[in-house]
Amino acid sequence: MPAWLDAALDYIPRWLEFQVRLHEQPGCVIAVAYRGELVHEQAFGPLTPRHRFRVASHSKSFTAAGIMKLVERGQLRIKDPVGRHVRGLHRALAGATLAELLGHRAGVVRDGPDAGQFVDRRPFVSAEELRAQLKNPPILARKRRFKYSNHGYALLGLVIEAVTGEPYRDWIAREIIGAAGLRETTPDMPRGKRVLFTPGHTAKLPAGRRVIPGDFDTHAIAPAGGFVATAADLVRFYAQLDPAARNSFLSVASRRAMTRGRWRDPHSSIERYYGLGVMSGRVRGIAWFGHSGGLQGYITRTAVMPREEVAISVLTNSIDGLAHPWIEGAIHVIRVFAQRGAASRGLRAWRGRWWTIWNAIDLVPAGDRVLAAWPAQFLPLLDAAEIRAGRIVLAGGYASHGEPARLKRDELWLGGTRFVREQSLAREMRLRYRAAS
């Protein structure tokens, strides 16, 4: 692992720990891989890295990989109409191609006539219910626009079953999960063995946090959202989807087809694209691909940074989980260190968290300067002040640009502002102010 990545991974967990406390989240797990090898994993809250989460729509990447594997073997063609493999569909749906289903371009209903399965008001649909609902016409004509569809991916699960002659769960576990070398991933809730499983949680409003068990079976929706996995397994899997990966269970051509951004959400201010079972985009100019997932009680996201050869997964176990801003913050930190490098030896003492009544700042040495990061922000290094040779050499116009910086054992001075350690400030505040009622 390069020194710059080691330095980035020294700061990211410290920042995440602050974020978990600040936002009163029940838990979080992060994993990072470099060139396909796990280099960091850490849990926050009452969790361990071995805890498995419902990773929801990450499942689509596994299903898409399954379709591509069958294409490689000559058992499918990407331009096959789905009706060639699954009977009983509405005529307009039967003409949709596998590529259109993989890219959410077939106009299929998102979740059927009753999406109560995603709010715990009904069980997830069975294969029989799914087939009955797919007799209805698509919502839109084919190729009209990007339209996300869980039912469309459930239909791809039926394609895999029809072509292989096996249950989706059994085939995908052997040919994709097993082929990728994953040991902590299942297509739905694990059966017949005890594992560390993470319950989900509601948001704090309107009734305070409540535990969502999350141990249901997603039945026919498993190919779209049923998978259960650890963060470590997810970074191993998505790293193998990089066309430049040295080791993978898929051909380079399949990986290129999956990860190439094809279709943009036409009604979104965020520039994000969808390929074949894989999302892609940019975070402040930094290219990434991967997927996210949301199921009652869980928000999760995984991203690969191809240029940096880094894969990151952030899993949260609450319905208001902050996996999206946290992973984008981690991406930004990694990019900053990739550009600046690890800290010069003389700056390593300039490290740690300091407080005033207004805020906390983190001293983060990188390259030949010390960055004054804001751990309360989702992009903690964005617009960070820079310190060099005892002076603030770069800061915003409203900050203390050009003023001295002094670090002692128990205090930090930036210009005329004195920062202290957290416990010291907490003690001072308890003495000065009475508790709020």
Q: What per-residue confidence (pLDDT) applies to 404? A: 96
Q: What per-residue confidence (pLDDT) applies to 374? A: 96
CB 30 within 8 A of CB 313: yes
For the four alpha carbons of 213, 215, 219 and 221, in that order, the dihedral sign comes to positive
Q: What per-residue confidence (pLDDT) applies to 381? A: 97
Q: What per-residue confidence (pLDDT) applies to 192? A: 75
Global pTM?
A: 0.96
Pairwise CA distance, residues 264 & 145, whole Å: 9
Q: What per-residue confidence (pLDDT) applies to 244? A: 97
Q: What is the mean pLDDT of each run of 10 residues along the chain (437 residues)?
A: 95 98 97 98 97 98 98 98 98 97 97 95 97 97 94 98 98 98 97 90 96 97 98 98 97 98 85 95 92 98 97 98 97 96 87 95 96 97 94 93 92 95 96 91
Q: What per-residue confidence (pLDDT) applies to 284? A: 85
Q: What per-residue confidence (pLDDT) applies to 232? A: 98
Q: What per-residue confidence (pLDDT) applies to 159? A: 98
Q: What per-residue confidence (pLDDT) applies to 207? A: 95
